[in-house]
A and B are shown apart, each in its own frame.
Chain A
């Protein structure tokens, strides 16, 4: 009995155990199923995702920075180039005591205080892992000296790099501009235009001038090298190589020799000169004085030099030709005359009497002519030749501001010319609407009187005035001014030409044009305001002088009493085109505080014209005898 119970018990126990075993098997089946599902999920369902991750793990994309495009003048003279040079660079990660390292280095290579300052600035702006330049353009001797001692400087190395160089320095500073290290603003802009990928590995970007405006041409296409790397980041083998495409070459319409002569002709005057070929809009010379040396900007200018440039009363960093806004003064008169003829307000031969002062009808307010006592009886021809203010006061009043605005805007006044450089100012051609918007005031007849002689609210940039002058010279057929003539690839094949078709034709009446042009020739003839400009020239110059009253300069001058007189002097304008009969060049000269246009601005123009039309090279500085030189 007992045995039976035991047996039964044994049977029950076996049964229980078998049950537990089945549960265990079920448990294992569940575990293994979970694994298989997981494998299926990872390897079949999400395979592409993990494949991508594995690829990006192992493949490192190394950018190859393209060579920046060259900038040449119209004759092939190099204005911006690259040269390979050796730099001394410090790796921040491997250098513990930066100060001591630099001190030691300075015993081997020449490290100036400026180098140190610039390095400090770079250090402050950089990321930890970057390698920073302490010296560039090492001499062979310096390289040899450092190489012998290199073991002492684990974090310092010599690197061969391509450098940008502007051989003309100051002369082309405002034209070419400069490149500089890419900063956060640049990155934000690149991100916006979706160009970040092409700048991987690039350190520099165009900051001003043509370097900035033609950045997309000059930069080139970054090459890519795909390298297989291990977990430590060491390259194991190369997978693919896409060569970089060098930046395009810019061929400018600028004539560097003309540019040089124009620049030197200013002597110590500040100002601007823009010369345009009226037949196609090619800008031949583009000068803003004073300039500055763009070369130090490339690798970050030191703070002290920057402050000197930035705080100078001469504002050398301001591109006057592009951004300087000045009242056009009497240079507006030929255009006013054309407006008068267009609206039939004046007949050419119709003469007025100039007593030296003008009154608006029913007003006692005096508007003086520049010539005390007046010019007597003047018709349109004489009014331009002698720059008679009274004639144009009356003409402006008769035309009214609406007509003036309407007509002058056809010549581009008050609008950007669209020249191929970023940052152009638009000047100001006032209108009733503008005044209401700007000052919440109605337009007074007195406002119109001032506009008639290019004063009052009117503002122009030298580029704008040059465009208007060129359009006038070309009988109303306007070409968009452009500094770049053509873009070539790095092998010298032409890719495209910049703007060779006319913008528009103003269809100016031939008789009106002849009259104004003849009067402008008379300006440079005896009896005109710029008679010295054309003394002894074998060609005729059509010109017009102008004087811009300095008002805005007053505030700035308080700090420098010695210069107050000079800096408050009027700005001198001269616009011209020559030969008058078949113009090949139209130009604008602005000499800040140069007094009257005929005396200072016209001689500068003359030298430029002589070189361009006759190939005559002036003896530098010899002809500039103005007393003002002593001041600067």
Chain B
């Protein structure tokens, strides 16, 4: 086997366009992290390690034939549910929330696993009943979605439960849930809003209230929103220049390597940078939709669509929250924010997309 053949074997299941889009975003991540970490290599290097691990996992998933992928759906989902119950019973409390489970060897956050596990399970379920879909099947799928969400919302982790709810809903939507039922659900959601409101934790309500008037609590919860909005707005058209963001480098921005990294980016690169950033995301999303449209099976179509839409939602929620049009719900900016777990989850998703794209011929034959 020549070197060239070996290379072709290696990249055979990688989607070139997707790799280009992801690569640009990951390079951007390292550049912004260096600034957000006050010109230190510490976090960028560690993130590079995270990326490498995530890329390897993505490669593995991309090379996995689809029927193997489908087979993992039920075990992953069941394991995830068990772990979530475990968290509810024995989870470690940090910052007032019970999200982590100490397994002796490592602390894990089962809700991250469910970001993949829930849509996977739902897509598997629809595939199973593809021929005879009735309203009852949608109901069961919804149940599969709502059980883990209830557990995650109880932790409490509003951001993750909203994102999983979105990813599950996208599966339902793409699976053809009738518009009428969605209308009824929407009406029911609006009607039950006061009840949900009363079930929210005080700090969650506060965060939502803050959205409408951040200045009310300028030194408390509103501080994040106000300082981030100032950072974005003061960036102007072309930004203050790389490493020159005053909000960033004088410590005014909170959590600037993680949830608020977009504020760092837009302060230093301005509207111009923001448009480029949105462009990069659009490119990745567009490629995701292309893969979805070309997907050969019901399962892969649902899965690819859900992954793509969820990715778009991530990006929207984070940028919306940093620029002050959405409440601060603790969602990282996909592929840019510092952190290994979210990177890994996202890359697993893209691995699946690549697998779906590159294995379809095999399925057809």
Chain A residues within CB distance 8 Å of chain B = 13, 16-18, 20-21, 24-25, 27-28, 31-32, 34-36, 38-40, 42-44, 46-47, 49-51, 53-55, 57-58, 228-232, 236
Question: Cβ of A39: which chain B residues have Cβ within 8 Å of it?
Answer: 232, 266, 271, 274-275, 278, 323
B233 contacts the other chain (Cβ, under 8 Å)?
yes
Q: Smallest CB-CB separation from A19: which chain B residue?
A: B176
Tell me which residues from 252 to 272 in chain B have a Cβ below 8 Å from any Cβ of chain A.
252, 266, 270-271
Complex: A58 Cα to B251 Cα, angstroms: 10
User: What's the nearest-Cβ distance from chain B to residue A16, in Å?
Assistant: 5
Number of B residues with CB within 8 Å of any CB on chain A: 44
B contact face: mostly helix, strand, loop, or mixed = helix
B50 within 8 A of A: no
For the complex, what is the distance from the CA of A470 to the CA of B211, rounded to whole Å?
A: 75
Of the candidates A24, A53, A228, which one forms a contact with B170 in the assembled complex, judged by CB atoms under 8 Å apart? A24
A-chain residues with CB within 8 Å of residue B293 when the two chains form the complex: 18, 21
**Partner-contacting stretch, out of B58-66, B184-192, B281-289:** B281-289
Min CB distance A218 to B, Å, is 38
Complex A-B: 20 CB contacts under 8 Å: A17-B174, A24-B170, A24-B305, A28-B309, A31-B312, A34-B316, A36-B278, A38-B325, A39-B266, A39-B271, A39-B323, A44-B236, A46-B233, A47-B234, A47-B235, A47-B237, A54-B234, A57-B252, A228-B250, A231-B251
Find out whether the CB atom of B323 lies under 8 angstroms from the CB atom of A42.
yes
What is the chain B residue whose CB lies nearest that of A59?
B246
Cα–Cα distance between A51 and B250 once the two chains are bound (Å): 15
**A-contact 0/1 string along B289-320, CB 8 Å cutoff:** 10011000010010001001100110010011
**Contact of A47 with B236 in the complex, beta carbons under 8 Å:** yes
Minimum CB distance partner of A236 in chain B: B250
Q: Report which of A16, A20, A57 forms a contact with B246, defined as CB distance below 8 A.
A: A57
B231 interfacial contact with A, CB 8 Å: yes
Contact of B250 among A17, A47, A231 (CB under 8 A): A231
Contact B320 A38 (CB under 8 A): yes
- Given known pairs A231-B252, A236-B250, the reply for A50 and B229 (CB within 8 Å) is yes
The DSSP consensus for interface residues of chain A is helix
Q: Are A43 and B170 in contact (CB under 8 A)?
A: no
Interface status of B144 (Cβ within 8 A of chain A) = no
Which residue in chain B gives the minimum CB-CB distance to A40? B271
**Does B358 make an interface contact (CB < 8 A)?**
no
Alpha-carbon separation in the docked complex, A35 to B275 (Å)? 10
The answer, yes or no, to whether B160 is at the interface (CB within 8 Å) is no
B235 engages A43 (CB within 8 Å): yes
Cβ of B234 and Cβ of A50 under 8 Å apart? yes
Given known A-B contacts A28-B285, A38-B325, A16 and B176 have beta carbons under 8 A apart: yes
A40 to chain B, nearest CB (A): 7
Q: In the complex, which of the residues B170, B232, B246, B247 contacts A42, with contact meaning CB atoms closer than 8 Å? A: B232
Contact A54 B271, CB 8 Å, known A21-B174, A24-B174, A35-B278 = no
CA distance A32 to B170 in the complex (A): 17
A-B contact count (CB 8 A): 123
A-contacting residues of B (Cβ < 8 Å)?
A: 170, 173-174, 176, 227, 229-237, 246-247, 250-252, 266, 270-271, 274-275, 278, 281-282, 285, 289, 292-293, 298, 301, 305, 308-309, 312-313, 316, 319-320, 323-325
A32 touches B316 (CB 8 A): yes
Q: Are B230 and A230 in contact (CB under 8 A)?
A: no
Q: Are A35 and B316 in contact (CB under 8 A)?
A: yes
Q: How far is the CB of A36 from chain B (nearest CB, A)?
A: 6
- Output the least CB separation between B353 and chain A (Å): 14
Q: Give complex CA distance A231, B170 in Å.
A: 42
- How far, in Å, is A183 (CB) from chain B's closest CB? 29
Query: Are A35 and B320 within 8 A (Cβ)?
Result: yes
Q: A32-B312, A40-B271 are in contact. List 5 more A-B contacts (CB 8 A).
A: A35-B278, A39-B274, A47-B235, A57-B250, A228-B250
Shortest Cβ gap from B315 to chain A (Å): 8
Across-interface contacts of A28 in B (CB, < 8 A): 285, 309, 312
Q: Across the interface, do A51 and B309 meet the contact criterion of CB distance under 8 Å?
A: no
B32 smallest CB distance to A (angstroms): 16
A35–B252 CB distance below 8 A = no
Q: Which residues of A contact B234 (CB under 8 A)?
A: 47, 50-51, 53-55
Given the known A-B contacts A17-B176, A25-B289, A230-B250, are A57 and B282 also in contact in the complex, defined by CB atoms under 8 Å?
A: no
- CB pair B236–A32 under 8 Å, yes or no, is no
Known: A21-B305, A32-B281. A54 touches B289 (CB 8 A): no
Q: Which residues of A contact B325 (CB under 8 A)?
A: 34, 38
B235–A32 contact, CB under 8 A? no
Shortest C-beta distance, A25 to chain B (Å), equals: 6
Report chain B residues within 8 Å CB of A35: 278, 316, 319-320, 323
- The 9 closest A-B CB pairs, nearest first, are A50-B233, A54-B234, A231-B251, A43-B271, A42-B233, A230-B250, A31-B316, A39-B274, A50-B234
**Across the interface, do A43 and B251 meet the contact criterion of CB distance under 8 Å?**
no
Q: Is the beta-carbon distance between B246 and A54 smaller than 8 angstroms?
A: yes
For B292, the chain A residues whose CB sits under 8 A away are 21
Contact of B323 among A31, A38, A57, A229 (CB under 8 A): A38
- Residues in B whose Cβ lies below 8 Å from that of A42: 229, 232-233, 323-324
Pairwise interchain contact A34-B282, C-beta atoms closer than 8 A: no
Knowing A21-B305, A35-B323, say if A229 contacts B250 (CB, 8 Å).
yes
